[in-house]
Amino acid sequence: MLRNYLTIAFRNLWKHKTYTLINTVGLSVAFGSCLLLFLTAYHELSFDNFHTNGKNIYQVYQQTGLSDKGVPMPAPLTTVLKKEFPQDVKHIARVVSGGMIRYGNKEFSKTVRYVDEPYLRMFSFPVRQGAGPQSALSNLSNIVLNEASAKDIFGSENPIGKTLLIQENDTWKPFVVSSVIADYPDNSSIKFDVLARFEADPDYASSKDSWDNSYHTLFLQLADNVSEASFEQKLRGVVKKYYAGNLSNLKRDGGQPDENGDLYSLRLLPLKDLHFDTEVGGAEVGAVKKSYPYLLLIVAGFIVAIACINFVNLSTARSLTRSREVGMRKALGALKSQLFLQFWGEALLICVFGLLLGGLLTYGLLPVFKQVFRSTTSLSYFQQPAILISLLVGFLLITLVAGGYPALFMARFNTIKVLKGVISLNRTSVMRNTLLVVQFAIATLLIACTVIAWQQINFLRKMPLGYNEDQVISIPIRGSINGRQMLRLLRDRLSQQPRILSITGAYKNFGRGLDGSTVTSIMGFEHNNHSVHSHWQIVDYDYLKTLDLKLIAGRDFSREYATDTTTSVIINEAMAKELGDKNPIGALMQVDSGRTPLQVVGVVKDYHHESLKRKIQPNTLIMDQKWPLGYALVKIAPDNVPATMAMLKKTWEELDPNSAFQGSFLDENTDRLYKAEERLSQLFISAAIVAIVLSCLGLFAIAVMVMTQRTKEVGVRKVLGASVLSIVALLSKDFLKLVIVGIVIASPVAWYFMNQWLQDFAYKIEIEWWVFVLAGLLAIGIALLTVSFQSVKAALMNPVKSLRTE
For 439-464, what is each residue's pLDDT tens digit? 888 888 888 888 888 888 788 777 88
- Distance from C-alpha of 560 to C-alpha of 217, rounded to nearest angstrom: 40
Q: Give pLDDT, residue 145.
A: 94
Axis-axis angle for helices 675-709, 291-319 (nearest 10): 10
What is the average per-residue pLDDT within 594-598?
81
With the CA atoms of 695, 699, 704 and 707 taken in that order, what torsion angle do they form, in degrees rounded to the nearest 10?
-170
User: Which residue in 534, 603, 592 sits closest to 567, CA to CA?
Assistant: 592
Long-range Cβ contacts of 719-726 (<8 Å, 24+ apart): 719/799, 719/803, 724/792, 724/795, 724/796
In the predicted model, is pLDDT for residue 603 greater than 90? yes
**Residue 438: pLDDT band with limits 50, 70, 90:** confident
Determine the Cα–Cα distance for residues 218 and 240; give it in Å rounded to an integer. Answer: 20
E-assigned strands of 254-355? 264-270
Q: What confidence category does residue 284 fall into, taking pLDDT thresholds of 50, 70 and 90?
A: very low
Collect all residues with Cβ–Cβ distance below 8 Å to 42 and sequence separation of at least 6: 293, 377, 381, 387
User: Under DSSP, is residue 483 helix (H, G, I), strand (E, B) or coil?
Assistant: helix
The predicted structure's pLDDT at residue 511: 77
User: How many other C-beta atoms can be found within 10 angstroms of the C-beta atom of residue 459?
Assistant: 14
User: Mean of the pLDDT values across residues 666-690?
Assistant: 74
Mean pLDDT across the stretch 105-127? 89
638 SS3 class? coil
pLDDT at 283: 43
Side by side, the strands of the sheet bearing 500-506 are 500-506, 631-636, 472-476, 664-665
Q: What is the pLDDT of residue 707?
A: 67
CB 420: neighbour CB atoms within 10 A? 11
Query: Given pLDDT bands bounded at 50, 70 and 90, which one contains residue 685?
Result: confident
Check: CB of residue 574 under 8 Å from CB of residue 606. yes
**Has residue 555 got a pLDDT over 80?**
yes
Residue 79: the pLDDT is 92
* Spatial distance between the Cα atoms of 75 and 94, rounded to a whole number of angstroms: 8
Considering Cα of 282, then 287, then 288, then 293, what sign does the dihedral take?
negative
pLDDT band at 117 (very low <50, low <70, confident <90, very high): very high
More confident residue, 293 or 585: 585
DSSP 695: H
Q: Among the listed ranges 379-388, 597-606, 669-678, 688-697, which one has the minimum average pLDDT value?
A: 669-678
Distance CA 718, CA 715 (A): 5
Average pLDDT over residues 222-234: 92
- What is each CA distance from 528 to 361, 578, 589, in whole angstroms? 66, 11, 9
Nearest residue to 63 via CA among 247, 241, 291: 247
pLDDT band at 293 (very low <50, low <70, confident <90, very high): confident
Tell me the C-alpha distance between 91 and 113, whole Å: 18
How many angstroms from the chain centroid is the CA of residue 352? 33
What is the C-alpha separation between 747 and 753, in angstroms, rounded? 10
Average pLDDT over residues 53-69: 85
pLDDT at 160 over 90: yes
Report whether pLDDT(564) > 80: yes
pLDDT average, residue stretch 9-25: 70
Pairing of β 472-476 and β 631-636: antiparallel
CB 381 within 8 Å of CB 39: yes
Proportion of the chain above pLDDT 90, given as a percent: 19
pLDDT score at 805: 53
Pairing of strands 551-554, 214-222: unpaired
Q: Determine the Cα–Cα distance for residues 750 and 452; give it in Å rounded to an integer.
A: 9
Confidence band of 20 (pLDDT split at 50, 70, 90) = confident
CA 189 to CA 194: how far, in whole Å?
Answer: 16
262 close to 268: Cβ distance less than 8 angstroms: no
Cα(111)–Cα(133) distance, rounded to whole angstroms?
20
Tens-digit pLDDT profile for residues 483-533: 788 888 888 888 888 888 899 988 888 877 766 666 667 777 788 888 888
DSSP-derived letter for residue 289 is -
First-to-last C-alpha distance (Å) of the chain: 34
Q: Between residues 515 and 766, which one has the greater pLDDT?
A: 766
Main-chain phi, psi angles of 287, to 5 degrees: -65, 135
pLDDT tens across 313-355, in order? 777 666 555 555 655 565 655 656 666 667 677 777 888 888 8
Q: Residue 165 pLDDT > 50, yes or no?
A: yes
183-198: pLDDT as tens digits: 999 888 888 999 999 9
- Are 190 and 48 in contact, with CB atoms under 8 Å apart? yes
pTM: 0.77
Write down the pLDDT at residue 641. Answer: 85
What pLDDT does residue 108 have? 82
**661 within 8 A of 649, measured Cβ to Cβ:** yes
Q: Tell me: the pLDDT tens digits for 713-740? A: 666 776 667 776 776 677 677 778 888 8
Q: Is the dihedral of CA 435, 439, 440, 444 positive or negative?
A: positive
Q: How far does Cα 54 stand from its chain's mean position?
A: 22
Residues in the chain: 806
Residues near 566 by beta carbon (within 8 Å), at least 6 away in sequence: 596, 623, 624, 625
What pLDDT was estimated at residue 793?
65
Q: Regarding predicted confidence, which is higher, 802 or 725? A: 725
Q: What is the pLDDT of residue 434?
A: 81
DSSP SS3 for 529: coil
Q: Is 162 in contact with 176 (CB distance < 8 Å)?
A: yes
User: Measured between alpha carbons, how far is 468 from 630 in angstroms, rounded to an integer?
Assistant: 19
Which residues is 621 bridged to in the sheet?
537, 570
Packed helices 17-45 and 336-372: angle between N→C axes, nearest 10 degrees: 50
